[in-house]
A and B are shown apart, each in its own frame.
Chain A
């Protein structure tokens, strides 16, 4: 096996099989320049490994966020069998709806009977008229009774006021009469002396 610098690189990176690795190790052991080259490659690799991985600034957990989950209709739309089923169901529904929802033909209008119509009106009027008259008379009786009662109360009130006025006048008259009699008596007694 011809151990070239590129084969040494493959050796460093672990790209060789076991037999190739043994061949390289044997060649390196026998050749100083190859050994120096291998050391330089290994030092380079060690230096590269000294560069640390950085921690991710914040964890990326977006998948658990609800916003990224497909909506129910997206899941539905993405499913071809479901789409086929839904299309068939829609078609069947439309057929059934068409069967039930078709408007029924209207029955022809019956012939108009003028005599029966007038008779029915007469019956209704005859039935309603006594009730209406009774209601009117009742209302009049009530209004009349209320008016009589109000007039009577007013008369009684005036009568009481007149009685009070007459009593007051009589009382005043008697007081004045008494005063005049007292004055007359005093004048008479002073004239005698």
Chain B
């Protein structure tokens, strides 16, 4: 991870000096992560791909404004966050007409990996956009609270609150408490 950060830093510095190949390599390292982050926010592959393209283009166009290459990831995810929410706001009226999520099966019993994945997907869908994004940034993207605060543009306490609430909801769905057996 340390080596990767060092290499990313070199690539960013080169890209800031106009080295297109360096930026292309940077894109190849980050595009899948950005795509999956966007996909879990907007829940549509085509939209996520379009957004991913837009985000990486904006990153390229504004890379010279990034003063500290060590902050590249939060800075890029901040751009992705803004782009995703901008699109979600535009599409909001249509989405309100969509059907409500299905009932989520519990993961407590024996389930196949595919079923587990479906259950997790459905459980994530039941969260609010803000809660879901907090989970995605923390669980799937591995950001620290400080970085999440930078990406989401809100205080760390708000970030924690969203994440803790989301995790309690997910826990009740995916790992419900065992029902105590009544003594007969």
Contact = CB atoms under 8 A, between A and B. Distances in A.
A128 interface: no
Given A6-B164, A9-B163, A63 B138 contact: no
Interface string A21-57: 0000000000000001001110111011111111111
B56 to A, nearest CB: 6
B104 to A, nearest CB: 11
Interface band, chain A? 20 to 34
A40 B171 contact: yes
Nearest to B52: A60
Contacts of B77: none
Contact of A53 (B20, B36, B107, B160): B36
A47 B120 contact: yes
B145 interface: yes
B contact patch SS? helix
A6 B141 CA distance: 20
Contact of A63 (B24, B113, B160, B171): B24
A64 interface: yes
Contact of B20 (A6, A43, A64): A64
Chain B interface size, as a band, is 35 or more
Contact of B23 (A13, A47, A63): A63
B151 interface: no
A56 B31 contact: yes
B105 to A, nearest CB: 11
Given A48-B135, A48-B170, 16 more contacts: A6-B160, A9-B167, A40-B175, A44-B171, A45-B139, A47-B175, A48-B174, A49-B139, A50-B117, A54-B39, A56-B35, A59-B28, A60-B52, A63-B56, A63-B60, A68-B60
